[in-house]
Structure 1
Amino acid sequence: MKILVFGGTRFFGKKLVMRLLADGHDVTIATRGKTADDFGDSVRRVKIKREAREDLFCLAQEKWDVVYDNICFSPQDALYSIAAFRDKVGKYVYTSSLSVYRMRDRALVEADFDPFHYEIVTGSREDFDYGEGKRLAEAVFFQKANFPVVAVRFPIVLGEDDYTGRLEFHINHVQAGEEIGMPNEEAEMGFISSDEAADFLVWIGTKSDVVGPINAASNSVYRLSELMNLIEVATGKPAIVEVNTEDNDDSPFGVEKTYYLDNAKANEAGFEFRDLREWLPKLIDKKI
């Protein structure tokens, strides 16, 4: 297949490209050109600004079997893609997020956010918070695109190559004996590994005919108290968890209520997820 990947030089985007190449696909990566890659001559590279309409139209001078869009954060970005790739793409895979869901306190299913009837408001990334930008981008894709779209809703993605440092935040704070702010240690959260996220994107884009919104998360969840206990055991030090702390000590996982994805739709479609309780303890050990 001829495949275009927006953002394929780090984290799960890089792993996605590696898997696509291993499967024999013809891959082009479109990025800002700020992050080096080690793909050599195996990929074609195009330097773009994702928010620049003319850059997208240049890419759409040719047809693509699949487009992966890991760097769309606003309805304006989505509108530009729809205009540029009209009749030029077989399937458009949009990387969305758990953040589209406003509900809490239970497993969230795809129907809990309906992008097909969500009121569209236009604007750029700076005009919305992260969750609203993702909601509006989904709404634009599903209401206005004339090509098949799948929106992959990921939870927090973790891995050895995670540049955000969210898991390291907790490990470093425990090792340093510093407070960690968590409003509710009994809240449950789900995650997905960067390897599994890449595997899922390959599957949904090149091996599945599924379209529409779909949740993708590892099986099982952790209470935040259990997660902190894993770090305590791995570091040999107690975690100091408080409800109220300084802002710079607030946990990136600090949710007030349970917040995780139901992955039944993807399971029923044929994707087999790994178990969070198998891979997360190993990842914590590797990071210490």
Structure 2
Amino acid sequence: MRKILILGGTRFFGKRLVERLLEDSKNEVTILTRGETSDPFGNLVHRIQVDRSQPEAFAQALGDTSWDVVYDNICFSPDDAAQARRIFDGKTTRYILTSSLSVYDFSESALTEEIFDPETYPIRYGGRKDFTYQEGKRLAEAVLIQQATFPVAAVRFPIVLGTDDYTRRLHFHIEHVRNELPIGIPNPDANICFIRSDEAADFLYWLGNSMVTGPLNACSDGTVSIKDLISLIEKETGKQAVIQSETADAHNSPFGITQSWFMDTAKAQSEGYKFLTLSDWLPELVSTLNQTYED
């Protein structure tokens, strides 16, 4: 029996990861959350309810249990990472940190893992409120990869999309086009990458069964410009988008990047993982989401 711990597994791709793990009866899955979001797994999983930002309570809740794989989807600061490094010392054989495309700055070229090297990044400590999201993720990677006694992989996901996206970022654009509301997009020609929630879960599952360590980019093959994404929505809704370079904050696009921002996945592919093609699933997702408003 493989003992799997997931820090944050009750919604979006974390929930899909649990579903994927439960397909194999050899996996014994435990979810650790603050208990604020319910899950549908019943007695198929074990649960630990604790706030990871409380170090003593976190350590006490985990006790002396050892894990084959720990997935950490809710690590946002170097303090979170340092706490995990201490608590899981000698208690896991593999640690998978969910990181982000945000560790990179914008670029007109595909971003490769070595552009940001957590092995050499200077470490500073602090909590989530002490850093930007970008810096928090950079430092979390640096702490774990430089200091952990157990093998660590850091998965750099772009924006994750899906029908189950609780942040409703793609929904935002469809709603704005349908309602003829302005959308603030500073650079419609900027290219971006995405990954679908089930693909993100599948990648995490695959990585948990591999020996790959260090940073790994993970996104669907291909990119789309913000302009072309809006065109997909216009075609599906039958309405023309109202695009503005500047607008009220409430109407600024969650995809409103000033320059292109996309990743190279050659490292993961060289290890044997095959990604979906963005152009194969993005139009279908737009259509599916739009249909929910029609219904």
- TM-score grouping bracket, smaller chain normalisation: over 0.9
Asked whether 1:96 is paired with 2:99, we answer: yes
Asked whether 1:174 is paired with 2:212, we answer: no
Q: Is the 8 A contact 2:102 2:134 kept in 1?
A: yes
Structure 1 residue 44: Cα displacement: 0.4
Asked whether 1:221 is paired with 2:223, we answer: yes
Q: Aligned equivalents of 1:2 and 1:230: distance in 2?
A: 43
> Number of residues paired by the alignment?
287
Unaligned runs of 5+ in 1: none
Asked whether 1:113 is paired with 2:116, we answer: yes
Q: Aligned equivalents of 2:182 and 2:36: distance in 1?
A: 35
Query: Residues 12-91 of structure 1 correspond to what in structure 2 (within 5 A)?
Result: 12-24=13-25, 25-58=27-60, 59-91=62-94
Please tell me the residue identity of whatever aligns with 1:61.
D
Residue in structure 2 matching 1:247, options 239, 246, 249: 249
The TM-score, its normalising length taken from structure 1, stands at 0.98
Map of 1:188 onto structure 2: 191
Map of 2:293 onto structure 1: none
Q: Aligned equivalents of 1:123 and 1:243: distance in 2?
A: 35
Asked whether 1:125 is paired with 2:128, we answer: yes
Please tell me the residue identity of whatever aligns with 1:234.
E
Please tell me the residue identity of whatever aligns with 1:6.
L
The alignment-based identity, stated in percent, is 53
Structure 1 residue 266: Cα displacement: 0.7
Map of 2:155 onto structure 1: 152
Q: Is the 8 A contact 1:50 1:72 kept in 2?
A: no
3-state secondary structure, aligned to 1:184? coil
3-state secondary structure, aligned to 1:68? strand
The TM-score, its normalising length taken from structure 2, stands at 0.96
Structure 1 residue 55: Cα displacement: 3.1
Please tell me the residue identity of whatever aligns with 2:202.
D
Where do 4+ consecutive residues of structure 1 move more than 3 Å?
none
Q: Deviations over 1:200-258 (max 9, x none)?
A: 0000012x110000000000110111100000000000011111111111100011111
Unaligned runs of 5+ in 2: 291-295
Q: Deviations over 1:48-104 (max 9, x none)?
A: 102111233231511100000000000000000000110110000000000001242
Q: Is the 8 A contact 1:56 1:80 kept in 2?
A: no
Residue in structure 1 matching 2:213, options 201, 206, 211: 211
Say which is worse superposed, 47-56 or 271-280, in terms of deviation.
47-56
Q: Aligned equivalents of 2:70 and 2:284: distance in 1?
A: 33
Map of 1:276 onto structure 2: 278
Q: Deviations over 1:134-153 (max 9, x none)?
A: 00100100111010000000
Q: Aligned equivalents of 1:54 and 1:68: distance in 2?
A: 20
Q: Is the 8 A contact 2:106 2:259 kept in 1?
A: no
Please tell me the residue identity of whatever aligns with 2:81.
A
Structure 1 residue 38: Cα displacement: 1.0
